[in-house]
Amino acid sequence: MAGRQAAVALLRRGLGSLAEQAGPQRKVAILGAAGGIGQPLGLLMKLNPLVSHLALYDIVGTPGVAADISHVNTRAHVSGYAGEEQLGEALKGADVIIIPAGVPRKPGMTRDDLFNINAGIVKALATAIAKYAPHALVNVISNPVNSTVPIAAEVFKKAGTYDPKRLFGVTTLDVIRARTFYASKKNLPVKDVDVPVVGGHAGITILPLFSQATPQVPITQEEIEYLTKRTQDGGTEVVQAKAGKGSATLSMAYAGAHFADACLKGLNGVENVVECSYVESTVTDLPFFSSKVHIGKNGVEKIYDLGPLSDYEQQGLKDLHVELAKSIVKGQTFVHDNP
């Protein structure tokens, strides 16, 4: 009897791993893979059965990170690339490219204070992507996302490779925070909770829509204002708690892995893959905006409009306009002024 059970378990395991191997070959490249986000993100992508090849790129440190992660007994083959001369190899054939490269905030800084350093980093990486992997879905994590996504778009336009369906600013961490804070405030099982977050990814440009949260439960205006502010200041809460040692890395790795998984599912033809993301958009009069996006085989298949907003959210939408517009223009101008 025990022998039979063991044989059945073995067969199940065999079939399971066969199914796992049978998915399409998918290469994911992480740029900034040796950093605070890059390392746990690399590990999480190594655990993702949809990934067949994981390319870890950074300016330094990637051979060690790649050797370490490569020992995990999951599907993805892992390779490490260090230094600019290896960037092309890291990118070639990539289906999804995740960019957490760049400096993080210290207490007292805004995300925009990172612009001077990170704009150049994202511009250089986008230039290489245009050359080596122009059809990949690109997930930009590097801050300030409100500007770095327009930077990547301008670089791709100049290179003649721009496809707005394939460029995403990762705002998933805002959604994850809004869900966590809402569930905790209203004593709900967090796995059942969803909260769309629209706009951008900095301060008041982060606009959680608690009027559309599910499940709907009685909530006071005071609670909504508290939850909105906490979601908008979530990044700063972590920066302050880390007291000079950087910003969110672990929760961001989780968020980045979740969003990259959605991109892989979309590419693989899974239906109904919908995530909030900061993309080129006509949902408002701003050229880039985060809202719910349907991700399919070609990237963005559909951008959902904002749906009915409460008066408080309408006001939030008005309030974020100037700042988000400025950040977008700042990114675009940077590329034009630095050819």
Q: Which residues bind to ligand LMR, rule: CB under 6 A?
A: 104-105, 111, 143, 173, 234-236, 238-239, 247-248
Interaction between residue 177 and ligand NAD (CB under 6 A): no
Helix 172-185 to helix 234-242 angle, to the nearest 10 degrees? 90
CB 118 within 8 A of CB 104: no
Q: Is 316 in the site for ligand NAD (CB under 6 A)?
A: no
Q: Which stretch binds ligand NAD (CB under 6 A): 46-54, 97-105, 290-298, 329-337?
A: 97-105
Q: Which is nearer to ligand LMR, 162 or 289 (CB)?
A: 289
**Alpha helix ranges (H) inside 71-137:** 87-91, 115-132
285: nearest Cα among 306, 313, 311: 306
Smallest gap from residue 225 Cβ to ligand LMR (A): 20
Distance CA(204)–CA(312), nearest Å, equals 13
Cis peptide before 215 (omega within 30 of 0): yes
Question: What's the rounded Cα separation, in Å, for the pair 262 and 256?
Answer: 10
Q: What are the backbone angles phi and psi of residue 28, rounded to the nearest 5°?
A: -115, 130
Q: Is 201 tagged catalytic?
A: yes
Looking at residues 19 to 48 of the shown chain, list those that interact with ligand NAD (rule: CB under 6 A). 31-32, 34-38
> Residue 75 or 198: which CB sits closer to ligand NAD?
198
Q: Rule CB under 6 A: choose which of 75, 201, 230, 292 binds ligand NAD.
A: 201
219 binds ligand NAD (CB under 6 A): no
Can residue 167 be called a binding residue for ligand NAD (CB under 6 A)?
Answer: no
Please say whether the dihedral angle defined by the alpha carbons of residues 152, 173, 258 and 289, taken in this order, is positive or negative. negative
Q: Choosing from 53, 71, 135, 201, which is the catalytic residue? A: 201
Give the phi and the psi of residue 313 in degrees, each rounded to 5: -70, -35
Between 238 and 273, CB nearer to ligand LMR: 238
Task: Tell me which DSSP letter residue 214 carries.
Answer: B
Contact between 208 and ligand NAD per CB under 6 A: no
- Would you please indicate which residues are annotated as catalytic (active-site) residues? 201
Report the interface residues with ligand NAD, using CB under 6 A. 31-32, 34-38, 58-60, 100-105, 114, 118, 121, 124-125, 141-143, 145, 170, 173, 201, 246-249, 252
